[in-house]
Structure 1
Amino acid sequence: MAEVTLFFKKLLAKRKDLSTLESQVLEYMLKYPNKVSEKTIDEFANEIFVSTATVSRTCKKLGFKGYQQLKYALDQYTGTKEEVTKQQDSQSSEEIDSHIVRFQKEMKRAMMDVDAAGILSVVETIKNSQLVEFFSVGASFPFGSDAARKLTFAGKISSARSDWDELRAVAHNMNPTDVAIILSHSGETLHLIEYAAMLKERHVPVILISGTKGSYLESIADLTLTAYSKSFYCETIDMSSRFTMNLLIDLIIFEYIKQTTE
């Protein structure tokens, strides 16, 4: 890319030696190098309404023996640019493909690990509760909010809160007749561990839906469902997928709706 820019800069440096018509020839070459490489000198001259002599003279003033040599040079440098673009596109395509494969593996693993008995137990706990409170922070919050919304429409009082202090207050005031559903990709989020400990002190049933097994939150929860998701970071940004967690939540809500509407 740097070589292409340098090549064009060298041509522009010679513009001061060109006449008005010759400058017109140069401007067209710089603006449409690919078109120039496809045209004969006659076609090029007709395109910009100058004589072939003007085109030839311009080429020589730019340091080339003639039009053909200029075309060859343009082909070399624009070809390099196109090759770099192709390589970049190919690399981007490969990266996208690798992410697609990662998503497919996560989905396949999650579907294989679906715990039907666990889902039925969660549904039974929800049915017997007065209130369902979702505890989810950060990237997991949208899934908790969506789940609370769906359960509310299904007739079960449910909520999800984004403010950490509010979640702490809720955990401090929940009762054993309620149920807390914690959503955590890692199962190691400090705030959620704090809330879970408070909930256990109040004998509130705690259900954990996590992306990993063997976490600290799992040791606290009464029931854990795992929606496999591999941790993935892009630079310092957590890009770990939560769609498998969302799938598991939907399966729970589907079953809840089915049992409560039959």
Structure 2
Amino acid sequence: MSNLKSLIYKNGNKLNDSENQIIHFVLNNPELCSNLSLSKLAKKLYVSESAIFRLCKKLGLSGYSEFKFDLAELAKNKNEAGYMKSDFAEELTKSIDDVLKYFKSLDLKKLFYYLENANNIYIYSTGWLQQLIAEYLSHELLVFGVHSTVLPSALSELCMVYDYVQSGDVLFIISFTGDNKAINDELMKFELTNDKFKCVSFTDMKQNTLASLSDFNFYYSPIAFTEDPDIVNDKVAFASAYYLVDLLISEYVMWREKSGKEDKNGGAK
């Protein structure tokens, strides 16, 4: 990881909104900014020169000259790595094919029974991109008359579920890696003290702790947009996760049509 990015990650909690906006601009335009003087960059961003100098100090840099040097290095690394993957379309197609093959191997009757008889369905996500998938899942369920509650992506919200969860409720957790320690630790506590609800997780196609803690797990394959070694969540395509949601809802609807609504004892009405 470049020195500048390391410093930003390390000292990001010290920055105010204005400084975060400066960082956002320079990280997206490192080559342009590395060729600007302090005064020209300040004019371009409509901030004072002292504001940029204070930012450099907060990041642990000696001054603007070192800031420019790190920006030039960042620009060089990006140019060498290349931005867009040339084989992105092929990788995306393969990931969707892999999800389809994997999905066809699943027996989902038990999960569908729990969904059909759940008093409440909760959907929790571990980040803002995962939150969009959670909202999509909730919308698709609602289209077929199934209500769900999308929880904010905060650990406190997940902890609160324990207080009001009822027997037979279903909790979906949509994660990127499935290895968020704080969330997994909380689920371990649930597992030891609460047998009321069923947990359903969506995670990357890799072995992970969240999958092992869940009653049901669905794997998807996120694809990186770039060759950038400093990749973060907002540079990843989650198309396979949305595709997995569509497959799940489609199969659930077909199951409902075929078997009819089941009563609480599991017998067909």
TM-score by length of 1: 0.57
Mapped contact 1:184–1:210 kept (Cα < 8 A): yes
Q: In 2 relative to 1, CA 199–156 (structure 1 residues): closer, same or farther, beyond 3 Å? A: farther
Q: Equivalents in 2 of 1:205, 1:172: separation in Å?
A: 15
1:158 match: 148
- Out of 178, 194, 197, which is 1:202 matched to? 194
1:184 match: 175
Q: In 2 relative to 1, CA 174–196 (structure 1 residues): closer, same or farther, beyond 3 Å? A: same
Q: CA deviation at 1:212?
A: 2.2
Q: CA deviation at 1:178?
A: 0.2
1:177 partner amino acid: G
Q: In 2 relative to 1, CA 236–185 (structure 1 residues): closer, same or farther, beyond 3 Å? A: closer
Q: Confirm or deny that 1:220 pairs with 2:210.
A: no
2:248 match: 252
Q: Equivalents in 1 of 2:153, 2:217: separation in Å?
A: 24
Q: Equivalents in 1 of 2:138, 2:171: separation in Å?
A: 11
Mapped contact 1:135–1:192 kept (Cα < 8 A): no
Q: CA deviation at 1:102?
A: 2.0
Mapped contact 1:122–1:252 kept (Cα < 8 A): no
The alignment of Structure 1 onto Structure 2 pairs a total of residues equal to 171
- What is the SS of the residue equivalent to 2:86? helix
Q: CA deviation at 1:142?
A: 0.6
Q: CA deviation at 1:112?
A: 2.1
2:253 partner amino acid: I
Q: Highest relative contact order (Cα 8 Å, sep 6+), 1 or 2?
A: 2
1:256 partner amino acid: Y
- What is the SS of the residue equivalent to 2:179? coil
Bigger Rg over Cα = 1
Q: How does 1:98-177 map to 2 (within 5 A)?
A: 98-138=87-127, 139-164=129-154, 165-177=156-168
Q: CA deviation at 1:144?
A: 0.8
- Out of 236, 240, 245, which is 1:240 matched to? 236
1:202 partner amino acid: N
Q: CA deviation at 1:202?
A: 1.9
- What is the SS of the residue equivalent to 2:123? strand
Gaps of at least 5 residues in structure 1 are 1-87
1:185 partner amino acid: F
Q: CA deviation at 1:216?
A: 0.5
2:239 partner amino acid: F
Structure with the bigger percentage of helix? 1
1:104 partner amino acid: T
Q: CA deviation at 1:231?
A: 6.1
Q: Equivalents in 2 of 1:179, 1:261: separation in Å?
A: 21
Percent identity, aligned pairs only, is: 15
Mapped contact 1:171–1:198 kept (Cα < 8 A): no
Q: Equivalents in 1 of 2:210, 2:171: separation in Å?
A: 13
Q: In 2 relative to 1, CA 188–100 (structure 1 residues): closer, same or farther, beyond 3 Å? A: same
- What is the SS of the residue equivalent to 1:175? coil
Q: Equivalents in 1 of 2:182, 2:107: separation in Å?
A: 25
Q: Deviations over 1:2-31 (max 9, x none)?
A: xxxxxxxxxxxxxxxxxxxxxxxxxxxxxx
Gaps of at least 5 residues in structure 2 are 1-78, 259-269
Q: Deviations over 1:73-119 (max 9, x none)?
A: xxxxxxxxxxxxxxx9xx77xx4532222212212222222244334
- What is the SS of the residue equivalent to 1:118? coil
Q: Equivalents in 1 of 2:205, 2:253: separation in Å?
A: 27
1:209 partner amino acid: F
Mapped contact 1:174–1:202 kept (Cα < 8 A): no
Q: CA deviation at 1:259?
A: 3.2
Q: Deviations over 1:117-150 (max 9, x none)?
A: 3344322221121111111121211111111122
Mapped contact 2:124–2:153 kept (Cα < 8 A): no
Q: In 2 relative to 1, CA 191–143 (structure 1 residues): closer, same or farther, beyond 3 Å? A: farther
Q: Equivalents in 2 of 1:113, 1:196: separation in Å?
A: 26
